């Protein structure tokens, strides 16, 4: 896909994109750059099948084809599609073929559309397998498992005729007030980069190899620094310098594009006043020229039209975005004016050719430009091979692996039920199945909805009495007082109701949700007086009180941890999350998750990040310790101990640029122990003020029982030391567990190998 003229299709067929481009009219080229329609409005259900709407036919006729079609299968409150009128799983292939054939027939060159769908944690379509949100994936610290989950999502998408998946991956959780915190892998650039790479390779295959055998192309969003919006306000300015931009917000994007992602979505926000979708230094100078990106750049929904407030007109907005490097618009009117803009501007005409070439090359690599379109191959599995996990099994496994034990006083967990006769289940999320799902999800069938209360009743109801106690009921105190165990399911929800209001890009306007796109919060305490609810429960009972926090952002949990005997952070663990929570509470699974973000201790102290350049401790007179739980934190029912931390120069010709770091961990228990090895650095000697700590390496391992296990990382000098590019001498302190080691960097140095 590197050259405009001559692209190898997925079957090795030579597709000459340059020649195809030369035969297209200006209007046809501009049509390839427009993605204006809401897909759910393009198909109508009729008795005996489906038919295409007049709006769809008019758009195809207008442009002599169609570049892309968004949200054909989307079902949610914004689209209005549900199980009553939406496209069911068994109907997707039929509808995709109907649309594709119509576009091919309407194109003089037989060019089909890209079918584009939202898939941030599973396809946003009826009957699709949903997965835990990105924040949960971050809490798993498991790129390998995420790659398996992404592969399963891709298989479902491609089987339904989808070509491109829009997937959140590039945003960092820099401010917990931001409603889209759940879409982030966390606050650390290395963790986000590794998970983004895994996501791309899972969906597309290593080196895009799976695009020929059932994978889908990935469009990574949002590029760039959207998580840095002032005050945690969605789409607001990112006020940061080039150093923080490159060190924090670009590693995930670079990892994803170098892994072969075929698309990138330009974000809403501006950086130093320049909107991302109008930023040639970002979209062309960095993305294409420096990183060698050869895919397409898509604008976020209505983003190009919004540039008119800066440029003065929609026509100039379109020209500005196009020249910056945006290939494909999303729901905009501005790009319809490109034909007019190109008539008296050769530079715009040249940019249209470039952008159209990018769209056509992506279609080619997906096999869509061949006379006989590629059908996904069915992968044959050898009978003796390890069983392939189903998508549902993978979703449940990721949910279990993402749960973080924040507090466990007097070893309240795992629960011992021998003396328990009655459990009181309280809290606003106790009976809610939708609260477990997160944003960007379709409606579930009633039989697929499962709350924590459902799981407790089904699995424990024959052994103990399970009472769901209404939070505002008169019997609350009496019921909690009589219980032998109180389970409080707290937190928030990103669930959108069909009566909610929405902006023109689908963000919430009037909603009961407390998180998600369009739901930024100024107050990070648990909503709805939940701290007071927990105080009531604590005052009423001396029995064990266990809190489960279902949330898509880092709330202030200071009172929760103080009042509850044990607290489990569940995030949004998905449709199989209720049973995952119960597995951990009962000790049928270990609490393996580790925080991918910092938990604040006070709502007025945010944002606090572990990798800031100066610590926040001791700064606020009224909140001297603003961090409640640190990035990377997570308790287990059993613990490992770091007994050694060593660093020495690598061997061979690259020894001067390679440092081998070994962490020795002891598992004193009699069973294998899952653990996340984390290595941090404090790097001095560079040209900028050092960060307090930076994650430089991590790995999920299983420690054999009763042994000390060495875990080795081979790290570059550039990762471990500041100022290597400037030729500076550096000094770094490495941390693992309670141990640290100090190492120095000179081109001729060896490294200290003692703690």
**What are the tokens at 57?**
């036919």
601 and 653 in one domain?
A: no
**Domain presence at residue 133:** no
In this prediction, residue 730 carries a pLDDT of 81
529 and 449 in one domain?
A: yes
Spatial CA neighbour of 222 closest among 278, 194, 174, 184: 184
- Bridge partner list, 202: none
Instruction: Specify whether the CB–CB gap between 50 and 91 falls below 8 A.
Output: yes
71 and 109 in one domain?
A: yes
Last residue of a domain, one of 629, 659, 684: 629
Number of domains in the chain: 3
**What are the tokens at 314?**
């929609």
**Domain presence at residue 291:** no
pLDDT value at 25 more than 90: yes
DSSP 3-state of 382: coil
> Once rounded to an integer, what is the mean pLDDT over residues 437-448?
96
542-563 pLDDT tens trace:
999 999 999 999 999 999 999 9
67 and 34 in one domain?
A: yes
In this prediction, residue 344 carries a pLDDT of 86
**Domain presence at residue 646:** yes
In this prediction, residue 9 carries a pLDDT of 41
Split at pLDDT 50, 70, 90, the class of 370 is confident
93-148 pLDDT tens trace:
999 999 999 999 999 999 999 999 999 999 999 999 999 999 999 999 999 999 99
Last residue of a domain, one of 116, 139, 162: 116
Least confident of 16-30, 572-586, 718-732: 718-732
Q: Which domain holds residue 701?
A: 640-745
DSSP 3-state of 356: helix
572 and 660 in one domain?
A: no
221 or 370, higher pLDDT: 221
Instruction: Specify whether the CB–CB gap between 56 and 102 falls below 8 A.
Output: yes
In this prediction, residue 656 carries a pLDDT of 57
702 and 595 in one domain?
A: no
Instruction: Specify whether the CB–CB gap between 37 and 59 falls below 8 A.
Output: yes
| 83-117 per-residue burial string, b: 16 or more CB within 10 A, e: under 16 | eeebbeeebbeebbebbbebbbebbeebbbbbbbb
In this prediction, residue 597 carries a pLDDT of 98
Most confident of the following: 408-412, 474-478, 750-754: 408-412
pTM (global) more than 0.75: yes
553 and 686 in one domain?
A: no
pLDDT mean across residues, the chain: 92
Last residue of a domain, one of 85, 116, 147: 116
579 and 510 in one domain?
A: yes
648 and 621 in one domain?
A: no
624-675 pLDDT tens trace:
999 999 999 999 999 999 999 999 887 765 555 789 999 999 999 999 999 9
Spatial CA neighbour of 746 closest among 681, 685, 691: 685
CATH no. for residue 439?
3.40.50.1700
Q: How far apart are CA 701 and CA 194, in angstroms?
A: 16
CATH no. for residue 652?
2.60.40.10
- E strand or H helix at 513, and its extent? none
**What are the tokens at 738?**
């309670």
Rg of the chain over all Cα atoms, to the nearest angstrom? 26
In this prediction, residue 212 carries a pLDDT of 78
Instruction: Specify whether the CB–CB gap between 610 and 631 falls below 8 A.
Output: yes
721 and 576 in one domain?
A: no
In this prediction, residue 371 carries a pLDDT of 66
pLDDT value at 372 more than 90: no
**Domain presence at residue 697:** yes
In this prediction, residue 164 carries a pLDDT of 98
pLDDT value at 748 more than 70: no
Strands 43-46 and 49-52, by their bridges, are antiparallel
In this prediction, residue 746 carries a pLDDT of 60
**Domain presence at residue 384:** no
- Surface-to-core class of residue 179, CB atoms within 10 Å of its CB (0-12 exposed, 13-18 middle, 19+ buried): buried
**Domain presence at residue 227:** no
| 272-293 per-residue burial string, b: 16 or more CB within 10 A, e: under 16 | eeebbbbbeebbbebbbeeeeb
**Domain presence at residue 11:** no
691 and 584 in one domain?
A: no
Output the CA–CA distances (angstroms, integers) from residue 624 to 467, 611, 615, 616, 631, in the order listed: 40, 18, 11, 8, 18
**Domain presence at residue 413:** yes
In this prediction, residue 529 carries a pLDDT of 95
pLDDT value at 348 more than 80: yes
> At which residue do the structure tokens 């190899």 appear?
209
645 and 609 in one domain?
A: no
483-521 pLDDT tens trace:
999 999 999 999 999 999 998 888 888 899 999 999 999
């Amino acid at each position: 896909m590197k050259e405009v003229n001559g692209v190898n299709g997925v079957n090795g067929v030579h597709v000459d994109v340059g020649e195809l481009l030369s035969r297209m009219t200006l209007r046809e080229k501009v049509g390839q750059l427009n993605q204006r329609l809401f897909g759910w409005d393009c198909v109508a259900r009729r008795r005996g099948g489906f038919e295409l709407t007049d709006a769809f036919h008019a758009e195809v006729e207008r442009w002599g084809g169609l570049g892309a079609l968004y949200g054909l299968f989307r079902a949610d409150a914004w689209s209005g599609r549900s199980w009553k009128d939406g496209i069911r799983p068994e109907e997707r292939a039929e509808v995709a073929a109907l649309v594709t054939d119509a576009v091919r027939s309407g194109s003089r060159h037989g060019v089909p559309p890209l079918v584009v769908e939202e898939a941030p944690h599973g396809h946003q379509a009826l009957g699709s397998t949903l997965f835990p949100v990105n924040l949960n994936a971050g809490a798993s610290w498991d790129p390998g498992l995420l790659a398996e989950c992404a592969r399963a999502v891709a298989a479902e998408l491609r089987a339904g005729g989808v070509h491109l998946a829009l997937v959140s991956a590039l945003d960092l959780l820099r401010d917990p007030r931001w409603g889209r915190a759940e879409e982030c892998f966390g606050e650390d650039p290395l963790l986000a980069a590794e998970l983004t790479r895994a996501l791309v390779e899972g969906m597309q295959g290593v080196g895009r190899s799976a695009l020929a055998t059932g994978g889908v192309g990935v469009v990574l969003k949002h590029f760039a620094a959207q998580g840095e919006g002032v005050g945690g306000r969605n789409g607001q300015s990112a006020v940061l310098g080039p150093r923080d931009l490159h060190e924090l917000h670009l590693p995930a994007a670079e990892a994803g594009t170098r892994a072969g992602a075929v698309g990138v979505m330009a974000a809403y926000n501006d950086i130093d006043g320049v909107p991302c979708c109008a930023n040639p230094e970002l979209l062309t100078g960095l993305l294409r020229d420096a990183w060698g990106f050869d895919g397409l750049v898509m604008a976020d929904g209505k983003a190009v039209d919004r540039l008119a407030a800066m440029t003065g007109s929609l026509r100039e907005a379109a020209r500005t975005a196009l020249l910056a490097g945006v290939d494909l618009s999303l729901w905009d009117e501005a790009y319809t004016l490109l034909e007019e803009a190109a008539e008296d501007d050769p530079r715009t005409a040249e940019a249209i050719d470039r952008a159209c070439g990018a769209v056509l090359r992506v279609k080619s690599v997906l096999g869509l430009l061949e006379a006989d379109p590629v059908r996904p191959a069915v992968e044959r599995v050898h009978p003796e091979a390890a069983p392939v996990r189903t998508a549902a099994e993978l979703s449940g496994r990721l949910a279990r692996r993402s749960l973080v034990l924040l507090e466990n006083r007097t070893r309240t967990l795992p629960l011992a039920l021998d003396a328990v006769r009655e459990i009181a289940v309280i809290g606003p999320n106790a009976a809610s199945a939708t609260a477990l799902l997160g944003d960007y999800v379709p409606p579930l069938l009633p039989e697929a909805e499962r709350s924590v209360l459902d799981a407790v009743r089904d699995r424990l109801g024959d052994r103990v009495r399970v009472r769901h106690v209404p939070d505002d009921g008169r019997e609350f105190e009496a019921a909690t007082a009589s219980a032998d165990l109180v389970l409080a399911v707290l937190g928030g929800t990103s669930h959108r109701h069909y009566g909610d209001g929405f902006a023109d890009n689908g963000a919430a306007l009037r909603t009961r949700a407390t998180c998600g796109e369009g739901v930024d919060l100024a107050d990070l305490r648990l909503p709805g007086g939940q701290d007071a609810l927990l105080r009531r429960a604590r005052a009423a009972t001396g029995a064990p009180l266990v809190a489960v926090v279902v949330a898509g952002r880092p709330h202030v949990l200071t009172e929760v941890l103080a009042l509850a005997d044990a607290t489990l952070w569940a995030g949004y663990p998905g449709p199989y999350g209720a049973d995952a929570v119960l597995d951990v509470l009962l000790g049928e699974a270990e609490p393996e998750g580790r925080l991918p973000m910092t938990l604040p201790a006070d709502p007025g102290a945010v944002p606090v990040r572990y990798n800031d350049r100066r610590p926040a401790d001791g700064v606020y007179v009224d909140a001297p310790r603003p961090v409640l739980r640190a990035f990377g934190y997570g308790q287990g029912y059993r613990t490992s101990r770091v007994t050694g931390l060593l660093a020495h120069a690598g061997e061979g010709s690259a020894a001067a640029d390679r440092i081998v770091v070994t962490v020795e961990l002891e598992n004193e228990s009699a069973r294998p122990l899952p653990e996340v090895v984390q290595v941090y650095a404090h790097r001095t000697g560079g040209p900028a003020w050092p960060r307090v700590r930076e994650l430089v390496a991590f790995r999920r391992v299983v420690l054999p029982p009763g042994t000390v296990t060495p875990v080795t990382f081979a790290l570059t000098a550039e990762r471990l030391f500041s100022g290597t590019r400037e030729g500076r001498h550096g000094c770094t302190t490495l941390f693992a567990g309670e141990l640290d080691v100090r190492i120095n960097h000179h081109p001729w140095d060896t490294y200290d190998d003692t703690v």
